[in-house]
Amino acid sequence: MAAKTKKAAAPKGGRKIPVTLIPGDGIGPEVTEATLEVLDAVGAPFEYEWHTAGVTGLKKEGDPLPKATLDSVRRTRLALKGPLATPVGGGFRSSNVRLREEFTLYANLRPARTLIPGGRYDNIDLVLVRENLEGLYVGFEHYIPVGDDPRAVALASGVNTRAGGRRICEFAFEYALRNGRKKVTLVHKANVLKALTGLFLEAGREVAKRYESKGITCDERIIDACAMQLVMNPYQFDVIVTTNLFGDILSDLNAGLVGGLGMAPAGNIGKDAAIFEAVHGSAPDIAGKGVANPLALMLSAAMMLDHVGYQEKAKRVQKAIDDVLLKDKVRTGDLGGKANTKQFTRAVVARVK
Ligand code: NAD
């Protein structure tokens, strides 16, 4: 179970938990419909407020992040989101990034677990906690002209705060504690970026001391060594916590260890709100064809169940997906199977029940 947001507690007496539902763009509506069937089958205690964002928001409401969508998340503090398309180069700013900033979703939680054995490694079970708001992603960038070249020099400033480092490391250690994990690895580059990532490391060490007596050990890796060691022997890691840019790269590396981004779920979690989403994009090449793999959003929905205190239901969804892939051998085209979205969903619903 993840560190809790204020809203995250199982309601008593059968009361429903409001969730903002953003089906998103491209294959988003297809994988969302599939995920809702599974949530219904497992008896998830959610009631949905349907809203738009991304290109769909722009088309339907004239805004890639409509006010009604933001107001809904402000109310519910919990959202399940399909992929949102972002124009490359020009156009509007990523609605995903805006949502993270708007609701201070400082932790990006990315589990990577082997679903289909026979790949490079079996039995991988890693969790990456990425700082989501600071570092080099704050977007303080500019050029310095020299002579007749207006872009002769490019500058970027990273911003890490002690409070931000403490907050993300506390999240990671608390996650480890609540989920029976044993070790947290602090990943940094404090040998070179002595201030920017040194401050993160300092905050992490301070947090680690508080968890020693609770049975969570801590170790440290420099980012480059960590990348190599993840490829050579990923089993030496358990929970990894790191700054924004390193986390972005390592979370894709971890997804690669278990078969790629198509199967990766994620949670963007803050003190007051949480948004769960699949890591993949809107897959415009297969949108509307009914062949998309809905597994990643289903696993993200399982993370959401876990987050609000329904661990048993979350485990049932995960187990149903494992059984469908391994015992029933029902898989979508991207995983080498023949099932379409509906057939895969039907198989998961049957297993959940
Ligand atoms: P993509 O993930 O949409 O697609 C990459 C490839 O993977 C495509 O061939 C696609 O068909 C396949 N694929 C992705 N998800 C799949 C699924 N569930 N089942 C089967 N096949 C799947 O990446 P892209 O093409 O780089 O991005 C397309 C759009 O999505 C862009 O506008 C991008 O900005 C956006 N995007 C959004 C998010 C998000 O909202 N979290 C994340 C990544 C990309």
Say if residue 1's pLDDT is above 70.
Answer: no
Tell me phi and psi for residue 124, to 5 degrees.
Answer: -80, 135
Closest residue by Cα to atom 10, ligand 1, is 283
Q: In what order do the strands lie in the sheet with 239-242?
A: 46-50, 17-22, 78-81, 274-278, 265-269, 107-113, 125-131, 239-242, 183-188, 217-222
Which tens digits make up the pLDDT trace of 259-305?
Answer: 888 889 999 999 999 999 999 999 999 999 999 999 999 999 999 99
Is 268 touching ligand 1 by the criterion CB < 6 Å? no
Total number of residues shown for the chain: 353
Say if residue 46's pLDDT is above 80.
Answer: yes
Residues annotated catalytic, as ranges: 137, 189, 224, 248
Closest residue by Cα to atom 8, ligand 1, is 283
Q: How confident is the model at residue 86 (pLDDT cuts 50, 70, 90)?
A: confident
Per-residue pLDDT averaged across 202-210, rounded? 98
Per-residue pLDDT averaged across 134-140, rounded? 87
Q: How confident is the model at residue 140 (pLDDT cuts 50, 70, 90)?
A: confident
Q: Which residue among 58, 282, 286, 293 has the greatest number of ligand 1 atoms within 8 angstroms of its CB, and so is best to mutate? A: 282
Which tens digits make up the pLDDT trace of 226-268?
Answer: 999 999 999 999 999 999 999 999 999 999 999 888 889 999 9
Q: What pLDDT, on a 0 to 100 scale, did the predictor assign at position 8?
A: 45
* Token duo for residue 244: 């924004």
Q: What pLDDT, on a 0 to 100 scale, did the predictor assign at position 7?
A: 45
Q: What pLDDT, on a 0 to 100 scale, did the predictor assign at position 145?
A: 98
Say if residue 2's pLDDT is above 80.
Answer: no
